[in-house]
């Protein structure tokens, strides 16, 4: 391999090297071989309905999930891997890592055979250092580490800015028994490009070719995206031609990256022409391509033109997704057209497109900026019903606006939610709360004094 940057924290992953001899069989047979002392995987529930898993999907909190798990134990139910995995997913999503550790220890002590997918899922929720520890511990759970879990770990390190550690692991992959595939090389290319090091990313690409690993469209798109963001569209287009010569067909994302580059240079018309020429190049325009153009128009305040494209997209039977709708919600709110943005939210729901946290937050922030706190309160309730939550600044702005506009009940409700969710109060919120707690209105004063009491506990 060519020389790469040295690790900042060499010791973090150095355990891999020392564990090679001890776990040679586990590391070398990375795809299908199981450790010799591994017990046969129980298949009692392989295709049977498992009531615990059905019930845990309906539960909201990690405490309730643990309670259900123990309740089944008390009923004499024996949990196998599927039940443990379902519980771990629930606990990790709730960030109850202490409980995750407890359940993992229990699994190890009861010799439950694990699938590496549960560890890969835990990598996503834990920080990178803990992910490294989990990766090291996998053999203790009768779970062979494969290239899939190695790639997942590598990606976590890159995404969390620990590129030197990722690079160090990449350097050691062969001695750990892993043969890098296209995904592995793509992750390393992403890491170098994230650091802005084009030459090193190209070296990874060249090494991929030298080792007879076929680049994917994702490989090319990483390089094309970098060049497009830098404004080097000529070089990016040459890469597209190189793809074509090597039998790789550019996809919608490829063209979207080129279109973004053109738009960033103020060449909207060229970007639009490229989109409508895609079909002649063997790729029909997709949602992502329309979204690039609509986003650029929105930035320049040309919402009406963006709406024309939106209708054109619908004519082509392309169903808008949450990203498409969010473009309009965002820019309509920025222009103060919150009523239209709210209509867009309603249209989303009618069409079966589920708004995400960003949709609600953009709309709620826009309503607060416009001083429409009553509508803001309605959107807040929709957020809660969808299990989303606004940011701290939005909470504070909304409670102050409701109290100042005389909606004490609404303000009281938002205050309760802030206390329940442990949201910090800023100075303006404190002043508003104290002012209305001292109101001559007995009801208002009583309600808000109760809130103040809760906050001081």
Task: List pLDDT tens digits, range 272-292.
Answer: 999 989 988 889 999 999 999
The mean pLDDT of 356-375, rounded to a whole number, is: 95
pLDDT at 185 over 80: yes
As a whole number of angstroms, the distance between CA 447 and CA 449 comes to: 6
| 37 DSSP 8-state letter | T
Write the pLDDT tens digit of every residue in 405-416: 888 889 889 988
Give residue 334's pLDDT. Answer: 93
Confidence band (pLDDT; 50, 70, 90) for 122?
A: very high
As a whole number of angstroms, the distance between CA 158 and CA 166 comes to: 6
Question: Is 324 within 8 Å of 286 (Cβ atoms)?
Answer: no
pLDDT at 20 over 90: no
Confidence band (pLDDT; 50, 70, 90) for 110?
A: confident
Give the helix ranges, DSSP H, for 160-232.
163-171, 182-194, 198-210, 217-230
Angle formed at CA 422 by CA 419 and CA 427, multiple of 5 degrees: 75
Write the pLDDT tens digit of every residue in 35-59: 334 444 444 444 456 888 888 888 8
CA distances from 407 to 15, 412, 455 (A): 60, 9, 21
Write the pLDDT tens digit of every residue in 144-156: 899 999 999 999 9
Confidence band (pLDDT; 50, 70, 90) for 65?
A: confident
In the three-class reduction of DSSP (H, G, I as helix; E, B as strand; rest coil), residue 389 is classed as: coil
End-to-end CA distance of the chain: 60
| 29 DSSP 8-state letter | S
How many CB atoms are located within 10 Å of the residue 6 CB? 10
In the three-class reduction of DSSP (H, G, I as helix; E, B as strand; rest coil), residue 381 is classed as: helix
Give residue 328's pLDDT. Answer: 95
As a whole number of angstroms, the distance between CA 445 and CA 408 comes to: 10
Q: Which of 111-125, 129-143, 439-453 has the least mean pLDDT?
A: 439-453
pLDDT at 434 over 90: no
Give residue 219's pLDDT. Answer: 96
Residue 181 vs residue 58, higher pLDDT: 181
Confidence band (pLDDT; 50, 70, 90) for 448?
A: low
pLDDT at 317 over 80: yes
For the entire predicted model, the pTM comes to: 0.78
Smallest CA-to-CA distance from 27 within 141, 138, 104, 105 is with 138
Residue 451 token pair: 């809130």
Angle formed at CA 367 by CA 361 and CA 372, multiple of 5 degrees: 145
CA distances from 223 to 198, 217, 284 (A): 8, 10, 22
How many CB atoms are located within 10 Å of the residue 109 CB? 8
How many CB atoms are located within 10 Å of the residue 94 CB? 17
As a whole number of angstroms, the distance between CA 373 and CA 364 comes to: 9
């Amino acid at each position: 391999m060519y020389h790469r940057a040295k690790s900042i924290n060499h010791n973090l992953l150095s355990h891999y090297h020392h564990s090679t001899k001890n776990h040679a069989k586990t590391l070398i047979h990375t795809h299908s071989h199981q450790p010799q002392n591994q017990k046969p995987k129980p298949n009692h529930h392989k295709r049977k309905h498992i009531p615990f898993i059905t019930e845990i999907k309906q539960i909201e909190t990690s405490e309730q999930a643990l309670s259900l798990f123990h309740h089944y134990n008390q009923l004499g139910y024996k949990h196998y891997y599927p039940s443990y995995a379902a519980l771990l997913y629930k606990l990790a999503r709730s960030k109850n890592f202490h409980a995750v550790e407890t359940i993992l220890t229990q699994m190890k002590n009861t010799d439950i055979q694990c699938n590496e997918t549960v560890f890969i899922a835990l990598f996503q929720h834990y920080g990178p250092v803990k992910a490294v520890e989990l990766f090291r511990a996998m053999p203790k759970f009768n779970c062979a580490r494969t290239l899939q879990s190695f790639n997942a770990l590598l990606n976590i390190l890159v995404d969390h800015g620990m590129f030197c550690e990722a690079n160090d692991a990449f350097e050691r992959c062969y001695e750990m028994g892993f043969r890098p595939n296209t995904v592995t090389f793509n992750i390393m290319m992403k890491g170098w490009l994230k650091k802005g090091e084009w030459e090193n990313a190209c070296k990874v690409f060249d090494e991929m070719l030298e080792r007879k690993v076929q680049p994917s469209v994702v490989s090319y798109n990483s390089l094309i995206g970098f060049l497009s963001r830098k404004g080097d569209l000529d070089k990016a287009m040459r890469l597209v031609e190189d793809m074509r010569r090597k039998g790789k067909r550019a996809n919608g994302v490829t063209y979207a990256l080129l279109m973004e580059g053109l738009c960033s240079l103020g060449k909207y018309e060229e970007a639009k022409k490229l989109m409508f020429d895609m079909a002649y190049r063997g790729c029909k325009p997709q949602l992502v391509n329309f979204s690039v153009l609509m986003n650029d128009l929105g930035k320049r305040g040309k919402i009406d033109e963006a709406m024309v494209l939106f209708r054109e997209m619908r004519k082509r039977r392309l169903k808008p997704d949450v990203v498409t709708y969010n473009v309009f919600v965002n820019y309509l709110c920025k222009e103060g057209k919150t009523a239209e943005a709210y209509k867009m939210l309603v249209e989303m729901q009618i069409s079966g497109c589920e708004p995400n946290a960003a949709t609600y937050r953009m709309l709620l922030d826009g309503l607060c900026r416009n001083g429409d706190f009553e509508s803001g309160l309605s959107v807040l309730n929709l957020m809660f019903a969808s299990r989303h939550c606004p940011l701290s600044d939005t909470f504070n702005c909304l409670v102050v606006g409701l109290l100042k506009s005389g909606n004490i009940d609404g303000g009281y409700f938002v205050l309760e939610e802030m206390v329940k969710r442990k949201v910090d109060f800023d100075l303006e919120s404190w002043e508003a709360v104290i002012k209305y707690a001292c109101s001559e209105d007995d009801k208002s004063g009583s309600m808000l004094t109760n809130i103040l009491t809760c906050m001081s506990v």
